[in-house]
Amino acid sequence: MTLLVTHHAAAPEAPEPRGEVSRAVRGRLFGGGPARLPRAADIARCSPYGEDLQLALHLCYELHYRGFAGVPDTLEWDPDLLRVRALLEHRFESALRHDCRHLPDVDEGLAALLVEPVDGTGVSHFLSSRGEPWHLREYAALRSVHQLREADPHLWVVPRLRGRAKAAMVAVEYDEYGCGRAERMHSRLYADLMTDLGLDPSYGRHTDVAGAELLAVSNLMTLFGLHRRLRGALVGHFAVLETTSPPASSRIAAAMRRTGAGPAAQRYFDEHVEADAVHEQLVRREVVGGLLEEEPALAPEVAFGIAATCLVEDRLGDHVLRAWSRGESALRAPLPQPPGGER
C-alpha cells in the first residue's frame, strides 16, 4: 500500500532548536538530525519549564495542528516521536503537579479568579496605564503563538463530555468560531489585530521570538486537550480563560485606543469584553457544573487545571513585566519596526 504524504501550504516554518533535546526532535522531523531521539535520561536533565523542553514539546504538538513546512503529515503518528512526546509531557506534568500540590476546592479556585489585585499589577494593567506601541506589539506577537489557533485545543474535550457540559462547551465554542462566519472567527480577528499593529499575522510566524514562558502557556492547553484523562483539567483551564478575559480585555482595549492602534486592534479586545462576560457564567454554571454533576470525582482535576493555568500565566506575566520594567524587550529577539516607524 502506498501512503499519500501531503504538505500544508499554510504550514509554518519550524522554529530553530534551543538545546540538544529540541535539536534532536527537529532533526527527526526533517530527517537530518542526530542519530537518535532523546532518551528518558536526556529529558530528565531538562528544566521542565525551560527553553529546550518547551520547544521540543511545541514541535511535537504542532504536528497535531498544521504541521511544519517540509515535514510529512505521516510523522504526526510516528511511534518514536510519540514516545518522546510522552516523556516530555511526563516531565512537564510532573512539575506542574508538584508546584500545584496545594489545591483549593473548585469553588474557591473559581472565586479567586473574580478578585482583582488591589495594587493593579499584571500585564494588562501595565498596558492600560503606561503601555507604549512597542509593548502592545510585543504582547500581540507573544500571544499569537496560540491565539491564531484560538479555541482549537479546547475542541478535543467535546467528545469526552456529556449532557450540560458538552452542550454549553459547544455553545461557547460556536461564538469563538464566529457563529459560522469566517470573517468573525476570533483567530481571524486576532490576525486583523496584528495587521493593524504592523505585525506579520502568519500562523507560527513569531514562535522563534517567544520564550519558554509563552510556550508553556501554549503547551499546557494542548497537553490538557489531547488526553482524555485530563478532561477535568481542560475544563478548569477553560474556566480560567473565560473568567479572567473580560477585565483584562477591557484594559487592553483601552490601551489600544489610547495609542491609536487601529480599529481592528480595538475590535478584538472589545469583542472579548462582551462575549466572555457571558461565557464566564455559562462555563462556571454549565461546563464546570455539568461536568462535576456527571463526574464528581473529577473535582481535583478541575482544581488542578485552574491552578496550573494560573501558574504558567503568572510565570509569563512576571517575565514580561520584569523585561518591560527595565525598558527591555520581553522577546528572544526584538521585533522589526512596522512600516512607517513605530506607531
Residue 338 placed within a domain = no
Model pLDDT for residues 172-208, shown as the tens digit of each residue: 999 889 889 999 999 999 999 999 999 999 999 999 9
134 shares a domain with 41:
no
Task: Tell me the pLDDT of the chain (343 aa) as tens digits.
Answer: 334 343 334 799 999 999 999 999 999 999 866 668 999 999 999 999 999 999 999 999 999 999 999 999 999 999 999 999 999 999 999 999 999 999 999 999 999 988 876 567 899 999 999 999 999 999 999 999 999 998 899 999 999 999 999 999 999 999 889 889 999 999 999 999 999 999 999 999 999 999 999 999 999 999 999 999 999 999 999 999 998 888 899 999 999 999 999 898 888 888 877 766 678 889 999 999 999 999 999 999 999 999 999 999 999 999 999 999 999 999 999 998 876 655 4
* Residue at a domain's end among 32, 64, 99: 99
Cα-based angle 338, 51, 83 (whole degrees, multiple of 5): 125
Residue 7 placed within a domain = no
How far apart are alpha carbons 50 and 112 in whole angstroms? Answer: 28
How far lies 339's CA from each of 2, 174, 254, in Å? Answer: 48, 35, 23
The C-alpha cell at 99 is 508546584
165 shares a domain with 216:
yes
* SS3 call for 261: coil
Residue 14 placed within a domain = no
Let me know how long the chain is: 343
pTM of this prediction? 0.93
DSSP string covering 195-216? HHTT----TTTTGGG--HHHHH
Which of these, 207, 271, 289, 248, lies nearest to 17 by C-alpha position? 207
289 shares a domain with 148:
yes
Give residues with Cβ within 8 angstroms of 73, minimum separation 6: 5, 6, 7, 8, 67
Residue 174 placed within a domain = yes
How far apart are alpha carbons 53 and 261 in whole angstroms? Answer: 35
259 shares a domain with 165:
yes
- Provide the b/e sequence for 191-210 (b: ≥16 CB within 10 Å): bbbbebbbbebebbbbbbbb
Cα-based angle 206, 210, 213 (whole degrees, multiple of 5): 150
94 shares a domain with 124:
no
Residue range of the domain that includes 124: 106-325
302 shares a domain with 240:
yes
144 shares a domain with 84:
no
117 shares a domain with 248:
yes
How far apart are alpha carbons 123 and 115 in whole angstroms? Answer: 16
282 shares a domain with 162:
yes
How far apart are alpha carbons 86 and 317 in whole angstroms? Answer: 28
Residue 77 placed within a domain = yes
Q: Residue 158 carries which DSSP code?
A: G
Q: 179: domain CATH number?
A: 1.20.910.10
* Residue at a domain's end among 73, 99, 125: 99
What's the sign of the alpha-carbon dihedral 223, 229, 231, 237?
negative
Residue 1 placed within a domain = no
Q: Domain tally for the chain?
A: 2
